[in-house]
């Protein structure tokens, strides 16, 4: 008898054990992926994973911020958009790039510098948005910061529109979009692999940070009970600022890969992507980091599958149908908190 | 209106019993605290000396919890001062006071339900670094062996009594000079209440000063050196615990005697 079983009244049945492991959501996502692979074929599948990885990175920011201050940060999609522009700026202005880089060493250096600068810059932007737009409203009714978030969203869009104009502009694809490798008989774009691997590594890093480190514990305890966290010595303002910094830095990374993958960006980019990433966060269970990652990939599958089956114009509708279905039938999402607060 | 009739403020010399009372570590002078427009504390004056167990008793809404929150920095007084070890901390935020040595186990336990027992304890030591943290965990486990058994479990899955043990253990992890305990016996079975009060004595014997808020005045006065009786945000009586327990008014109002 382990300690876990003694609390939860004797002899769990197989079904109960299964439910307790909570593998259901993961199996669901794997099932969706497997069926999708058969339906849309390997090429579109890789495409779905790539787009899903970008949504997942953005969704992490939504879910982290919601988890800690219960705010749907509607400006987050635009933070992602600013990330794509920042990356373009760093590549063209600071690093003088205009197209594919052949030397792998050079490419690695360029990408490293680009990710570092963009993520730090976006982290600072996110923390500044929190400091000046949301913190003054922390004790205001919940609608106030929500409206403010929409305002911040417009401000970011307008700033970029003023600087770079309303039309889509090209951004250097430093990873040659034509470069492909063969894996298991399937030819896959190098940029796709790079995007997926980068996203997964960042998610693992985030998960480690949140679950293993002191700052991660501070974030989780602040999310769980702000007053109690303060009584432990946690500086709430600093912790919330760090949460915004990390979430926005991840959106910055997503902006970098967005540019590398698609090759052009526009000031409206954040609106749609933001809503889809938000859908991913809700689907995964808002406030849950693993859920946001899973949700991002599912949304990628839904969107790409709709297109691959000839319903391209319905892609958006399909994504938002997922949002509505989730909210109606499983509002807590795939991995939503099931452990109630007990006092 | 403030400080009315509390003639006993100058009597700490009369504190008898366990633990030779030392210097004043905590002192509230005419503290007024508000919740928005509600005037919750209307001039609280009290002091706690090193090594003491001091209890605040009084009925619901008397201001006991508010007093603790004002001390720990979750609330700040609009008038009056809180001094901790000679320093005015009236407006110091809660997270800094933990570092200085005030640890507050709040009402309703407020443990982190989604963190494990071990993580809750680690949060208690948030302001500290170094290897002694592990020794402290061992110390808390020796006080509350149940927590050791449950260390990997999520806080929210513990029973009420276990959560209370965790709340106290977590507060001790900061190695406080002064421990503020708010209703540690609330909702517990009589056996558990006995246990908890035994542990409060033990913690005090090991050198931690305790300020205890309790509904259970009987038990509180048994463990405490001194006590203050609060009513509608004011101190109406201050005396040694023994004298309070013998006071007919106190017995009638708070110890259920008719």
> Contact A225/B108, CB-based, under 8 Å?
no
> Contact A7/B154, CB-based, under 8 Å?
no
Chain A, nearest residue to B97 by Cα: A233
| Residues of chain A with C-beta less than 8 angstroms from the C-beta of B147 | none
Domain hosting residue B14, numbered range: 7-106+176-254
Chain A, nearest residue to B148 by Cα: A3
The answer to whether the CB of A270 falls within 8 A of the CB of A204 is: no
CA distance A231 to chain B (A): 6
Q: Does residue A228 sit at the B interface (CB-CB below 8 Å)?
A: yes
| Residues of chain A with C-beta less than 8 angstroms from the C-beta of B104 | 231
Q: What residues of B are in the A interface, CB distance below 8 Å?
A: 72-74, 93-96, 98-99, 103-104, 106, 108-115, 119, 122-124, 126-127, 149-150, 152-154, 156-158, 163, 170-171, 174
> Contact A225/B112, CB-based, under 8 Å?
yes
Q: State the residue for tokens 């063209």.
A: A92
pLDDT given at position B21:
65
The per-residue pLDDT string of chain A (343 residues; one tens digit each, 9 = 90 and over) reads 344 444 444 566 777 666 666 788 888 889 989 988 998 999 999 999 999 999 999 999 999 999 999 999 999 999 999 999 999 999 999 999 999 999 999 999 999 999 999 999 999 999 999 999 999 999 999 899 999 999 999 999 999 999 999 999 999 999 999 999 998 888 999 999 999 999 999 999 999 999 999 999 999 999 999 999 999 999 999 999 999 999 999 999 999 999 999 999 999 999 999 999 999 999 999 989 999 999 999 999 999 999 888 887 888 889 999 999 999 998 889 887 644 433 3
Mean pLDDT of B18-26: 75
> Contact B95/A341, CB-based, under 8 Å?
no
pLDDT given at position A26:
87
CATH class for the domain made up of A26-329:
mainly alpha
> Contact B108/A343, CB-based, under 8 Å?
yes
CATH number at residue B51: 3.40.50.300
> Contact B95/A233, CB-based, under 8 Å?
yes
CA distance B225 to chain A (A): 26
> Contact A224/B114, CB-based, under 8 Å?
yes
What is the ipTM for the molecules in this complex?
A: 0.89
Express each pLDDT in B39-90 by its tens digit. Answer: 999 999 999 999 999 999 998 889 999 999 999 999 999 999 999 999 999 9
For chain B, what is the domain count? 1
User: Smallest Cβ distance to B98: which of A233, A339, A340?
Assistant: A233
| Residues of chain B with C-beta less than 8 angstroms from the C-beta of A236 | 95
User: Smallest Cβ distance to B153: which of A4, A220, A229?
Assistant: A4
| Residues of chain A with C-beta less than 8 angstroms from the C-beta of B119 | 217, 220
Does residue B127 lie in a domain region? no
Helices (DSSP H) in chain A: which residue ranges?
3-7, 14-21, 24-69, 76-89, 104-129, 143-164, 190-212, 214-224, 226-231, 236-262, 269-284, 289-308, 315-329
Chain B, nearest residue to A239 by Cα: B95
User: Smallest Cβ distance to A225: which of B110, B119, B122?
Assistant: B110
The DSSP 8-state label assigned to residue A285 in this structure reads -
| Residues of chain B with C-beta less than 8 angstroms from the C-beta of A337 | 114
> Contact A231/B94, CB-based, under 8 Å?
yes
Confidence of residue B8 (pLDDT cuts 50, 70, 90): very low
Domain ranges of chain A: 26-329
| Residues of chain B with C-beta less than 8 angstroms from the C-beta of A340 | 113, 156
Express each pLDDT in B207-245 by its tens digit. Answer: 999 999 998 899 999 999 999 999 999 999 999 999 999
Chain A, nearest residue to B167 by Cα: A228
| Residues of chain A with C-beta less than 8 angstroms from the C-beta of B94 | 227, 230-231
| Residues of chain A with C-beta less than 8 angstroms from the C-beta of B111 | 228
Whole-number Cα distances in Å, B98 to A226, B46, B172, B212: 15, 21, 11, 17
Q: Does residue A332 sit at the B interface (CB-CB below 8 Å)?
A: no
3-state SS assignment for residue A56 = helix
| Residues of chain A with C-beta less than 8 angstroms from the C-beta of B74 | 227, 230-231
Chain A, nearest residue to B95 by Cα: A233
Does residue B137 lie in a domain region? no
- Taking the C-alpha atoms of residue B243 and residue B117, their distance in angstroms, rounded to an integer, is 40
Does residue B159 lie in a domain region? no
Does residue B157 lie in a domain region? no
CA distance A41 to chain B (A): 41
Interface test with A, best of B94, B101, B172, B186 (most A CBs within 10 A): B94
Does residue B113 lie in a domain region? no
Cβ–Cβ pairs < 8 A, chains A and B? 94
User: In b/e form, how buried is each residue of B5-43, taking b as 16+ CB within 10 angstroms?
Assistant: ebebeeebeebeeebebeebbbbbbbbbbbeeeeebbbb
| Residues of chain B with C-beta less than 8 angstroms from the C-beta of A235 | 93, 95
């Amino acid at each position: 008898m382990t300690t876990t079983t003694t609390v939860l009244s004797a002899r769990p049945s197989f079904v109960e054990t299964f439910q307790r492991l909570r593998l259901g959501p993961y199996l669901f996502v794997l099932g969706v992926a497997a069926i999708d692979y058969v339906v849309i074929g390997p090429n579109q599948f890789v495409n779905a994973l790539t787009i899903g990885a970008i949504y997942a990175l953005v969704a992490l920011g939504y879910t982290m911020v919601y988890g800690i201050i219960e705010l749907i940060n509607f400006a987050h999609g635009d933070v992602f958009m600013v990330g794509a522009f920042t990356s373009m700026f760093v590549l063209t202005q600071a690093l003088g790039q205009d197209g594919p880089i052949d030397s792998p060493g050079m490419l690695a250096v360029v990408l490293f510098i680009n990710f570092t600068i963009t993520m730090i810059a976006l982290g600072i932007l996110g923390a500044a948005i929190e400091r000046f737009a949301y913190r003054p409203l922390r004790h205001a009714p919940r609608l106030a910061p929500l409206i403010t978030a929409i305002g911040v969203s417009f401000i970011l869009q307008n700033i970029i529109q003023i600087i770079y104009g309303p039309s889509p502009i090209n951004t250097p694809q430093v990873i040659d979009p034509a470069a492909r490798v063969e894996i298991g008989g399937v030819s896959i774009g190098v940029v796709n692999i790079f995007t997926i691997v980068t996203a997964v590594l960042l998610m693992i890093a985030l998960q480690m940070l949140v679950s293993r480190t002191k700052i991660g514990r501070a974030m989780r305890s602040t999310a769980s009970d702000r007053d109690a966290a303060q009584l432990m010595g946690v500086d709430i303002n600093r912790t919330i600022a760090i949460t915004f910094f990390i979430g926005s830095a991840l959106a910055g990374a997503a902006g970098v890969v967005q540019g590398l993958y698609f090759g052009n960006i526009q000031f409206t980019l954040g609106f749609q992507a933001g809503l889809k990433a938000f859908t991913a966060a809700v689907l995964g269970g808002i406030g849950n980091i693993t859920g946001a990652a899973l949700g991002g990939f599912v949304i990628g599958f839904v969107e790409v599958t709709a297109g691959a089956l000839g319903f391209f114009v319905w892609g958006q509708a399909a994504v938002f149908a997922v949002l509505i279905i989730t909210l109606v039938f499983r509002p807590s999402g795939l991995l939503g908190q099931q452990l109630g607060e007990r006092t | 209106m403030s400080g009315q009739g509390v003639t006993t403020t100058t009597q700490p010399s009369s504190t008898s019993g366990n633990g030779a009372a030392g210097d004043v570590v905590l002192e509230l002078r005419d503290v007024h605290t508000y919740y928005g427009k509600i005037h919750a504390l209307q001039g609280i004056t009290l002091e706690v000396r090193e090594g003491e167990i001091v209890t605040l008793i009084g009925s619901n809404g008397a201001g006991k919890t508010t007093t603790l929150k004002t001390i720990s920095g979750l609330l700040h007084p609009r008038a009056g001062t809180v001094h901790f070890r000679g320093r005015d901390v009236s407006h110091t935020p809660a997270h800094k006071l933990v570092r200085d040595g005030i640890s507050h186990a709040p009402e309703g336990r407020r443990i982190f339900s989604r963190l494990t027992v071990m993580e809750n304890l680690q949060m208690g030591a948030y302001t500290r670094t170094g290897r002694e943290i592990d020794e402290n965990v061992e110390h808390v486990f020796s006080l509350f062996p149940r927590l050791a058994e449950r260390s990997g479990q999520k806080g929210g899955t513990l029973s009420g009594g276990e959560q209370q043990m965790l709340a106290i253990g977590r507060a001790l992890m900061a190695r406080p000079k002064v421990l503020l305990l708010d209703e540690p016996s609330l909702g517990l079975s009589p056996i558990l209440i006995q246990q908890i009060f035994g542990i409060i004595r033990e913690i005090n014997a090991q050198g931690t000063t305790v300020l205890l808020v309790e509904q259970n005045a009987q038990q509180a006065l048994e463990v405490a050196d001194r006590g203050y009786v609060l009513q509608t945000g004011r101190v109406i009586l201050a005396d040694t615990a023994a004298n309070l327990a013998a006071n007919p008014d106190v017995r009638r109002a708070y110890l259920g005697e008719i």
